[in-house]
């Protein structure tokens, strides 16, 4: 286990990682001393480099080369970042008006947000429109809009309304029957999260009694359609950039990113995964920064940056954290009248 770094060791490690991210090549003690006009002697720097290497923070490709940060070094650097600088605050205020003008629904603003993240960080970005694991159902409303066509409205505690028109070709329920089914669903769905509602579908279906029992097949069809509605709202948008570290043309890469995004959506605070911390060997040279988007403190979705380990962490982490807060405020204002 690595020992706790001294102030000197931490300072030298931070500027070494920062310099490596800038020039993307092994860093020597002479280079660091000249670049940052350090008061430390070359012998002192070499001694610190050696201790950091022994502790697993640095490595070198061959005896004559400079040092390269390890995942542990990047992790330490990430955990000791500086606060957001004034430039980013000004840029975020400028973005607020632009984003507010673009909003038509949650999915649109999340896609627009990921595009802006890539624009301001020059990294690949992604967004997850609605994180279903944390959304609590207030009620579900079913309306017949045409023969064999039903409009489903799922009202969530955050103020979001999920809507979908679907067909039940083998049935054409009248208004009275549809209201009976709606009341039955709301009895067990209200107050549950979306996944909890899905999990209870079969149990509740098996418990049907009385008049509803003869409509078991129709109710099963409606519940199946609601499951599809819920899954469709979990949309991951990946914003590509030229020269990205990952090839999005590969279906396997895209699916692995989406799988990781869904996993990260369960984390309700800003987070950074570096290299092998992702749990996927395909991403061993990649870092992923994420921040949740919330409505009235309920987690709604996720924004993230995906790039090489040698990225500008200081800027990217602070930008994403404050940018997600901005999106959260905009959405909370938009949906407050529906709570």
> What is the model's pTM?
0.66
- Token representation of residue 15: 């500027």
Backbone φ, ψ for residue 252 (5° rounding): -65, -40
- Token representation of residue 56: 């697993």
Is residue 322 exposed (0-12), middle (13-18) or buried (19+ Cβ within 10 Å)? middle
User: Which of 30-34, 54-58, 119-123, 188-192: highest mean pLDDT?
Assistant: 54-58
Confidence of residue 84 (pLDDT cuts 50, 70, 90): very low
Write out the residue limits of the CATH 3.30.450.40 domain(s) in the chain: 86-131+234-338
| CATH classification code of 7-79 | 1.10.10.10
For residues 139 and 132, the model is more confident at: 139
**Rounded distance, CA 312 to CA 289, Å?**
11
CATH-assigned architecture of domain 136-232: 2-Layer Sandwich (3.30)
Write out the residue limits of the CATH 1.10.10.10 domain(s) in the chain: 7-79
**Rounded distance, CA 79 to CA 141, Å?**
46
Write out the residue limits of the CATH 3.30.390.60 domain(s) in the chain: 136-232
Q: What are the residues whose beta carbons fall under 8 Å from the beta carbon of 13, sequence distance 6 or more?
A: 5, 52, 57, 58, 69, 73, 76, 77
- Token representation of residue 321: 């954290």
pLDDT digits (tens, 9 = 90+) for 269-291: 899 999 999 988 888 889 999 99
82 pLDDT above the threshold of 50? no
CATH-assigned architecture of domain 86-131+234-338: 2-Layer Sandwich (3.30)
**Rounded distance, CA 18 to CA 314, Å?**
9
**Mean pLDDT, range 217-233, rounded to an integer:** 78
């Amino acid at each position: 286990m690595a020992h706790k770094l001294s102030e000197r060791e931490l300072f030298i490690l931070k500027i070494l990682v920062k310099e490596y991210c800038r020039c993307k090549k092994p860093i020597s003690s002479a280079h660091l001393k000249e670049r940052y006009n350090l008061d430390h002697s070359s012998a002192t720097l070499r001694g610190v480099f050696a201790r950091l290497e022994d502790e697993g923070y640095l490595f070198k490709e061959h005896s004559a080369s400079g040092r390269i940060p390890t995942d542990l070094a990047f992790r330490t650097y990430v955990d000791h970042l500086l606060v957001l600088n004034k430039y980013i605050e000004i840029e975020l205020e400028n973005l607020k008006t632009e984003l507010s003008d673009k909003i038509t629904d949650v999915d649109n603003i999340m896609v627009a947000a990921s595009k802006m993240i890539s624009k301001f960080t020059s990294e690949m970005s992604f967004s997850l429109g609605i994180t279903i694991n944390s959304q609590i159902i207030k009620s579900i409303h079913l309306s017949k809009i045409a023969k064999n066509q039903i409009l489903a409205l799922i009202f969530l505690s955050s103020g979001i309304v999920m809507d979908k028109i679907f067909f039940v070709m083998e049935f054409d329920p009248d208004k009275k029957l549809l209201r009976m089914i709606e009341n039955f669903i709301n009895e067990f769905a209200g107050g549950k999260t979306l996944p909890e509602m899905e999990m209870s579908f079969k149990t509740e279906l098996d418990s049907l009694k009385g008049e509803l029992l003869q409509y078991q097949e129709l109710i099963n069809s409606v519940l199946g359609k609601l499951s599809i509605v819920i899954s469709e709202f979990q949309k991951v948008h990946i914003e590509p950039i030229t020269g990205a570290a990952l090839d999005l043309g590969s279906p396997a890469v895209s699916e692995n990113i989406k799988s990781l995004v869904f996993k990260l959506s369960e984390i309700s605070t800003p987070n950074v995964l570096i290299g092998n911390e992702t749990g996927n060997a395909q991403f061993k040279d990649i870092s992923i920064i994420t921040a949740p988007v919330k409505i009235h403190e309920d987690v709604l979705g996720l924004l993230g940056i995906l790039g090489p380990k040698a990225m500008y962490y200081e800027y990217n982490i602070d930008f994403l954290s404050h940018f997600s807060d901005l999106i959260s405020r905009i959405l909370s204002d938009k949906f407050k009248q529906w709570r």
